[in-house]
Amino acid sequence: MGKQMTEMLKGTLEGIVLAILTRRPAYGYEITAWLRDQGFAEIAEGTVYALLVRIEQRGLVDVEKVPSEKGPPRKVYSLNAQGRAHLDEFWKTWNFLVERIEQLHHVQTDNTEREG
């Protein structure tokens, strides 16, 4: 993925992860694996972890420590009411941006067609 993709993902990854957590609670590795399956191939596990820590600190998720077969307990994250409200806000912002940017795109495509 290019630099542009990295930059754009930076602003949207939080919304993406919150959206994933609406399906069911998950731990960091599951979220990263799911993102990879969905084609977000180059998101580092540590980046997702850092994001989970951030949304935990801001109170958007509840955390439960679940013992694991090997290693330290896994932190399982689930979306809480505040997180759901934040996700609604994310979708509103996202839809607004998509609409505006698509409009710019159409203007540009129309002009190119006229010139060509």
Partner 1 sequence: MAAKWIETVIGSLEQKKQYRQYKARVQALPEPYHQAAKALERYLMYSSGLTDGDTMMTMFADFADLWERAAADETPVRAIVGDDPVEFAETFAAAYSGKQWIDKERARLIKAIDEAAAGDAAGGADGRDVDA
For residue 19, the minimal CB distance to partner 1 (Å) is 19
For residue 52, the minimal CB distance to partner 1 (Å) is 9
Say whether residue 74 binds partner 1 (CB under 8 A): yes
Say whether residue 11 binds partner 1 (CB under 8 A): no
87 CB-near residues (< 8 Å, 6+ apart): 15, 18, 19, 22, 79
Region of 59 on the Ramachandran plot (φ > 0 left; ψ -120 to 50 alpha; else beta): left
16 CB-near residues (< 8 Å, 6+ apart): 9, 35, 40
Residue carrying structure tokens 């994250």: 77
Say whether residue 83 binds partner 1 (CB under 8 A): no
Q: How many of the chain's residues bind partner 1 (CB under 8 A)?
A: 22
| Footprint on residues 24-43 left by partner 1 (CB under 8 A) | 28-29, 42-43
Cα 110 from Cα 116, distance rounded (Å): 10
Q: Which residues bind partner 1 (CB under 8 A)?
A: 6, 10, 28-29, 42-47, 49-51, 53-54, 57, 68, 70-72, 74-75
